[in-house]
Structure 1
Amino acid sequence: MIRLLLVIPTLDRSGAEKQLTLLARGLPRDEVSVHVVALTRGGPYADELRAAGIEVTVLGKRMKFDPRALRDLKRLVREERPDVIHSWLFAANAYARFVAGGADGPPVIVSERCVDSWKSGWQLWLDRRLIPRTRMLVANSESVAEFYRGVGYPADRVSVIPNGIAQPAAPSCTRDELLRELGLPDDARLVAYVGRLARQKRLDTLMWAAQLLRQANDRSYLLIAGDGPEAARAQDLARKLECERHVRFLGHRNDAASLLPLVDVFWLASDFEGMSNSLMEAMAAGRPVVVSSIPPNRELVDHGEEGFLVDVGDGVGFAQYTVRLLDDPQLAATMGEAGRRRMQQRHSVELMVSRHMDLYRQVTGSDEPADERAPADTTETTSN
C-alpha cells in the first residue's frame, strides 16, 4: 500500500484543484491510501473528497510564509510517514519541499499547471534552489515542461501527464430553458467562454470579437460563465463597445460544464495557459472551438480539425471563424465530434490516473505491474 500525501494551497473550484480531486477519487483504493492537505483553506472540493471517504486536513495558513503552517505540515508528515508527497502549485510546492525531499524525508513530486511567466524573480529563484529536494516535476503539457526545463529542472526529472477530463455531465436544463432564463430569442446562436475572469484570459479580445460577430450575425450571443478580478472591466468594455445586448455575464455557476453541450461554439483567448480544463470540457461535450494559438492550445487543437486557432489578441479572427461555424452546421458537427474523440482517446480520467500510478510506483520502488482497472470514482459535476 502506497501512503500518498497530496498538498495544495486551497480546494476552491479551479483547474488544479479539480485535477487533484479527480486523481484522489480515481486512485485504486487497494493500492493507495490518500490524505489531502490544503494549506490555506478548504472549499467545495474538500466536501467532494470527504464524501468519497478521503481524509482532508486544512492547515489555515494566513501569510505567504506562515511558520505555524509550516510547523504543522512538518508534524503531519512526521506522524503520517507518507511514502510520497505530491504537491500542487507554488506555495504547496515550496512548503512540501521545505519539510521533505531531503535525504531523511519522503520523496516529493511537484505539479506545475501553467507556463508561469507571472512568477517574480524571487519565486523563480526559490524554484531553482529547491530543485535538489525534488524527485520529479509533473507538468500538464509539453509547453509547461519546456518552461520548467528552462528554469533549470533536469530533463530526466520532468514528466508530462496531461489533464484528465471526465465524461460530460448531463445538462442541468434544456437549451430552450436556458434561452428563457437568459431572456434570449428561440433562434439565438450561443458562443461560450467558461473560466476565471483574469487578465491572462484576454476578455478584451472576446468583447471585440462579440461586437464584430453580432454585426455579422445579429442572432449571436456570448455567454461568459465565471468570476474574477477582470469582471467589472469586461462588463464596462461591453458597454463601451455597445455589444452588451449580445453578451451575458453569468457569474460563477456550479453547472457551467453541463451547459457546454447547449452552446454552438466555445471561445478561449488566453495569452498563456497550462492545459485548459474548460477547453477540454467543451471538446469532450462535442463543441467546435475557436482558441488562441498558444502552445498548450495547439497540443489540444489542430487548426481545421477540432476547431480553429487564431493569433493572440485577434478578435477579428475569433469572429471570422465563428461566423464560418455558425453558417455551416455540418462543419461544426464534424469538428465537435473530432474534439470529442480526441478527449476520449487521449485525455480520459482513467489514463491520467494510470499515468500517476506508474509515477508513484517508480518513485516508491514498487515493481507491481501497471493497473489497467478503471478508477474507483470518476464522476465530475463542476467546471472551471
Structure 2
Amino acid sequence: MSETGTVLHIIPTLDQAGAEKQLTLLAAELKHRGWLVHVCALTRGGPYRKELEAAGVPVTVIGKATKLDPMAYLRLRRFIRQIRPDIVQTWLFAANAYGRWAAWRAGVPHIVGSERCADHWKTWWHFRIDRFLARRSDAVVVNGRYVREFYVSHGIPAEKIVVIPNAAVEFPVASDSRRAMLLEFGLPDDARVVALVGRLWPQKRVEDAIWAADLLKRIRDDVHLLIIGDGPLRERLTRYRDRIEIEDRVHLVGHRKDLSRWLPHFDVLWNTSAYEGQSNAVLEAMACGVPVVASDIPGNRELILPDETGFLIPAGKSGRAPLAAKTKKLLEDEDLRRRMGEAARRRAREEFSLTRMADAYCRLYAELLQRPRSQTRSKQADV
C-alpha cells in the first residue's frame, strides 16, 4: 500500500493483555510499512511500552487519574492537536470514550473505534455512549463476527463495522529444552503440562479448569495445570484450589513475560471462558502447534475447527468433565495430538497472520484517507 499518513492509537494502558498486544503488533508493523505512528496510553504505560519504543513508535502517557478526569481529557485533546494525526484509532471503552470525543473536538479528519470483545458487563449508559460516539466515527473495527453481531444488536450501525481478525504470533522453539521448562516451574520429569493463560477474573471461569484438573488427577498422576496470569480473583482461586486439595497439580504462576519460551513445550492449552472476542492465548497456542481444548463459545468457534485443530466443550460447569476427557484423549494419543497441533499451526499461519491483519488495516486507513473530511466534524470542532 503506497499511500500512508499519520495514525494515533489511543488505549487505556499498555499492560500485558490481549488488546494491548494486538495494538503493539499492529503499530510496529505499520511503522515498518512507512506509516507515521504514535501511541497514547490514557492511564499508564506498561510492558508493551518498551516494545513499541524499540520499534521506533513514540509513546505518550496522559496520566488519567480517575474514571471522570476532565484534566486528562484536556491534556489528551491538546496532545492530539499537537501531532495533527490523519487518523485516530481508539481501543477499549475508556479510550473509545475519551479518545473519540477528544479527536472529534480536535478536528481529526478520520476517527476509528475498536471493540475487542462482546462486553456483557456494559450497562445501558455504556451502550448509549458507544452509539453516540459511533455517529462521530468513520468506522468501528471488531476482531470477529460474534463481536460484530453483539454491537449491531446494541445499536452500532452495521455499515460502520469492519471485521479484522487478530494476529497470531508464532513463537520459535528456543534453545530452552522441555527439561528447562519443567525445572523453571518445579515440575517432575514425567509431567504432562496443561496451561491456561489469561486474566484471573470471572469471565475466564478458571474454577472450571481447576475442577477439571482434579478430575484428571483421579485418572492420571502426571498432569499438571499451569495457570498463567494475574488478576483480582487470584487469592480466591488459590483458596479454592487448596480447599479441594489439588495444590500439588495446579500451579498459579502469575504473569510470565517469558511465556514465548515455554508455550511451544506445553502439551495442551485450555480456555474455559464464558465469552471472548478472539483469545490471544488460543491463537498463539495454535501458531505454536499446541492443541487447544476450549469452551464452545462464538469467539472460540471462529478460531478452532472442532476435532480438526482442537476440541470444543460446553461452557460452564457442564464442560468440566468433557474438558478432562478430551485432554485425557490428547495425552494418551501422541499421533492425534501431533496432527491436531500441525493443523492448528497451518490454520494460524494461513488465516491469522500479522501480515494479513496489517494488510486489512492498511486498506481501511487508505480508504479513509481518500474520503473528504467529515463536514459535521469540521463545523463542530474546537478551533
- TM-score w.r.t. the length of structure 1 is 0.92
- 1:344 equivalenced with 2:349 (yes/no): yes
Aligned to 2:381: none
Name the % identity. Answer: 47
CA distance in structure 1 between the partners assigned to 2:112 and 2:102 by the alignment? 13
Q: 1:28 to 1:41 in 2, by over 3 A?
A: closer
Shift of 1:104: 4.4
Amino acid at match of 2:189: D
Query: 1:102, CA displacement in angstroms?
Result: 6.7
Cα offset for 1:22?
Answer: 0.4
Please say if 1:232 is aligned against 2:243: no
Which position in structure 2 is the counterpart of 1:106?
Answer: 109
Which of 123, 126, 129 is the equivalent residue of 2:126? Answer: 123
Q: Name the aligned partner's letter for residue 59 of structure 1.
A: I
**Secondary structure of 2:42's partner?**
strand
SS at match of 1:60: coil
Match in the other structure for 1:79: 82
In 2, Cα distance between equivalents of 1:48 and 1:343: 23
CA deviation string 1:153-181 (max 9, x = no partner) = 11110000011112214347321122233
Question: Higher mean Cα deviation, 197-206 or 229-238?
Answer: 229-238
Q: Letter of the aligned partner of 2:245 in structure 1?
A: E
Asked if structure 2 preserves the Cα contact closer than 8 Å seen for 1:9 and 1:89, the reply is yes
The one-letter code of the counterpart of 2:187 is: L
1:247-286 maps to which residues of 2 (within 5 A)?
247-286=250-289
What residue identity is the alignment partner of 2:344? G
Query: Aligned with 1:114: secondary structure?
Result: coil
> Is the contact between residue 87 and residue 111 of structure 2 (CA under 8 Å) also seen in structure 1?
yes
Q: 2:202 aligns with which of 199, 204, 217?
A: 199
SS where residue 27 of structure 1 aligns? helix
The corresponding residue for 2:337 is 332
Q: Name the CA shift for 1:104/1:245 in 2 (closer, same or farther; >3 Å).
A: closer
Residue 364 of structure 1, CA deviation: 1.1
Q: Which amino acid aligns with 1:34?
A: V
Equivalent position to 2:323, from 295, 318, 324 = 318
Instruction: Report the Cα distance in structure 2 between the residues aligned to 1:292 and 1:157, rounded to whole angstroms.
Output: 30
Q: Which moved more, 1:251-260 or 1:318-327?
A: 251-260
Q: What letter is aligned with 1:256?
A: L
Cα contact 1:13–1:45 (8 A) shared by 2: yes
The aligned counterpart of 2:364 is 359
Question: How many angstroms does 1:258 deviate by?
Answer: 2.5
Contact 2:85 2:108 in 1 (8 A): no
SS of the equivalent of 2:308 reads: coil
Alignment partners' CA distance in 2, 1:289 and 1:242: 26
> Corresponding residue for 2:145?
142
**Contact kept? 1:87, 1:96, Cα under 8 Å:** yes
CA contact (8 A) 2:130 2:156 kept: no
Paired AA for residue 242 in structure 1 = E
Match of 1:372 in 2: none
Match of 2:13 in 1: 10
Comparing 233-242 with 261-270, which one deviates more in the overlay?
233-242
- CA 1:85–1:172: 2 relative to 1, 3 Å: farther
- Report the AA paired with residue 215 of structure 1: R
Aligned-partner SS, 2:176: coil
Alpha carbons of structure 1 residues 212 and 64: separation in structure 2 relative to 1, 3 Å: same
- Counterpart of 2:294, as a letter, is V
What's 1:21 paired with? 24
Q: Which amino acid aligns with 1:320?
A: A
Gaps (5+ residues) in structure 2?
A: 372-383
Three-state SS of the structure 1 residue aligned to 2:48 is helix
The equivalent position to 2:60 in structure 1, one of 53, 57, 62, is 57
Q: Give the whole-Å Cα distance in 1 for the aligned partners of 2:174 and 2:227.
A: 17
Deviation at 1:8, TM superposition (A): 0.6
What secondary structure is seen at the aligned counterpart in 1 of 2:43? Answer: strand
Cα distance in 2 for partners of 1:42, 1:231 equals 23
Is the CA contact 1:172–1:259 (under 8 Å) kept in the aligned structure 2?
no
Partner of 2:301: 298
Equivalenced residues, count? 366
Aligned AA for 2:343? A
Report matched runs for 1:159-174 at 5 Å. Answer: 159-171=162-174, 173-174=176-177
Q: TM-score, normalised by structure 2?
A: 0.92
Runs of 4+ off more than 3 Å? 28-31, 101-105, 169-172
Provide the alpha-carbon RMSD of the alignment. 1.5
Paired residue type of 1:163: N
Whole-angstrom CA distance in 1 between matches of 2:71 and 2:105: 21
Unaligned runs of 5+ in 1: 367-384
Distance (whole Å) between structure 1 residues aligned to residue 93 and residue 339 of structure 2: 40
For each residue in 1:301-339, what CA deviation from the matched residue of structure 2 results, as whole angstroms up to 9, or x when unmatched?
Answer: 121011110011211010010010011010010001110
